[in-house]
Chain A
Amino acid sequence: MNELRRAWLITLKDLRLEFRTGGRLLSMIAFVVLAGFLFAFALDQTAVAGRDVAAALTWLVILFASTAGAGRIFDPEEEEGAFRHLLLTPVSRPAIFLGKTAANLAVIWLVTALTFLSLTAFLDVRDQGSPAAHAAVLLPGTIGLAATGTFFGRMSRHSSLGDTLLPVLTFPLLVPVIFFGATSTARVFLERPWPEISGSVRLLWAFAVGSVFIGAALFRHVSDE
């Protein structure tokens, strides 16, 4: 059987579990809405323009929400030891990684959409920048976040420090995503021409592709005993 089809089966299974369990998704959504609400009150918008900070806040909220969610990606696999049985099927480790990353990515996209909607509403920057340009920046950035979160979400399972270890491992690696993501999104908000943005987007794509390939290649080292 095609490994991509197996990866797709894992994605569908994970999304079904995600929406039935709801815990991880709900906690991420609650965080996003509360963060947007609090930023709106914490910022003195007579002194700081919303569009000057919207990009940085958007990426920080997405980063924190996705990292918090990454710690729980493998919860349903561990409840009754299902991951052990999944590893004993012929499915390859890269296919498991790709399947779980795709499911994680779908959840992150939902959270990203909500973050974007809530922050642009609270900071009053709704009509600034083309939606297509925003999506073109967010897409590679979130792929990088999803792949990194899935890999280190599994790795942190082997440590007694667990969720504490996850941000320590992931945040330094995600500096390029946050840097190039936030600067690109800021330029989109300022409606700068695309050639000024495309260089950073190419770097985001390089990070996304690299993290997916490296994660898939190394996943067996964090999944198998």
Chain B
Amino acid sequence: MTLEGQRLVCTYGPTRALDGVDLVAGGGEIVAVVGPNGAGKTTLLRALSGERRPDRGEVLLDGSPVSGADPGWRGRVGLVSHRTGLYRKLTVAENLTFFASVHAVPEPRSAVARALDTIGAAALADTRVEALSRGQSQRVALARTLLHDPDILFLDEPFTGLDPSAAAALESTLRARRAAGSIIVLVTHDLRRCQGLADRVVVLQRGHKVHDGETGAADAVDLLRFFSPTPADPS
């Protein structure tokens, strides 16, 4: 299984958030996308997931074009973003049961119970999301993402706000998904974590891909040079 973004171009008004970016991610691989603020990382994730249609270029899965308009594609995709995507006034169980049901997961209540056990949050089932800490919410968001067993995962800053144990649990979940053959594309600012977790790292700068290599080929200090202000970047 191979996911491929080909010459992706996305614009917001006069701004080119992505300017001809190519990216390939294979099954059983974690690809980290890093770059300074405004580099186009989140836009790349949105284009790959089908959430935003690129203005040019296309996304292919095993050579066939895929689109966010296709429910079959949406059923294979899971997204964790820096916002939890949960309904604050619903309980954890109500949130997860709703998403499991619209995904047509068989026996949604049992699936929710299993998901909560997996993330060690069974005790939170009847707690409203508004009462959860940031880290707890993020764990529930991850459980929601995994409910329908997606084989392609997109994660946008998933470690934000997690305490060390929750971050370790998330890492362990991602490693397990990788071992199961999932494609994982991870946007992060945490260079050290991406060195330890990802198989490949892609660096974006101002909508362009400026580096694409195995994580072993460059250490976190090497990658830092891409974050330094350049003459073209007065900020």
Contact = CB atoms under 8 A, between A and B. Distances in A.
B189 interface: no
Contact of B86 (A10, A82, A87, A225): A82
A35 B87 CA distance: 33
A20 B71 CA distance: 31
A88 B87 contact: no
B90 interface: yes
The majority secondary structure among interface residues of chain A is: helix
Contacts of B69: 220, 224
B144 A90 contact: no
Among A6, A81, A220, residue most surrounded by chain B Cβ atoms (within 10 Å): A81
A76 interface: yes
Nearest to B95: A82
Interface stretch (B99-107, B163-171, B210-218): B99-107
Contact of B102 (A6, A80, A81, A225): A6
Contacts of A89: 74-75, 99, 102-103
A144 B124 CA distance: 41
Nearest to B85: A85
A16 B104 contact: no
B88 interface: yes
Given A80-B83, A88-B49, A90-B75, A13 B90 contact: yes
Contacts of B79: 84-85, 88
Interface in B42-60: 46, 49-53
A90 B72 contact: yes
A139 interface: no
Contact of B90 (A6, A9, A17, A84): A17
A37 to B, nearest CB: 30
A82 B75 contact: no
Given A86-B102, A224-B68, A76 B89 contact: yes
A56 to B, nearest CB: 37
A21 interface: yes
B6 interface: no
A127 interface: no
Contact of A85 (B53, B72, B90, B144): B144
B53 A79 contact: no
A87 B51 contact: yes
A17 B89 contact: yes
Contacts of B104: 1, 90
Given A89-B74, A90-B71, A81 B81 contact: yes
A220 B70 CA distance: 12
Interface string B59-80: 0000000001101101101010
A92 B144 contact: no
A91 interface: yes
Given A9-B102, A86-B102, A89-B103, A16 B81 contact: no
A75 B102 CA distance: 20
Nearest to B70: A90
Contacts of A16: 89-90, 94
B86 A80 contact: yes
Contact of B101 (A9, A79, A82, A84): A9
Among A9, A80, A87, residue most surrounded by chain B Cβ atoms (within 10 Å): A80
5 contacts: A1-B102, A6-B101, A90-B102, A90-B104, A220-B69
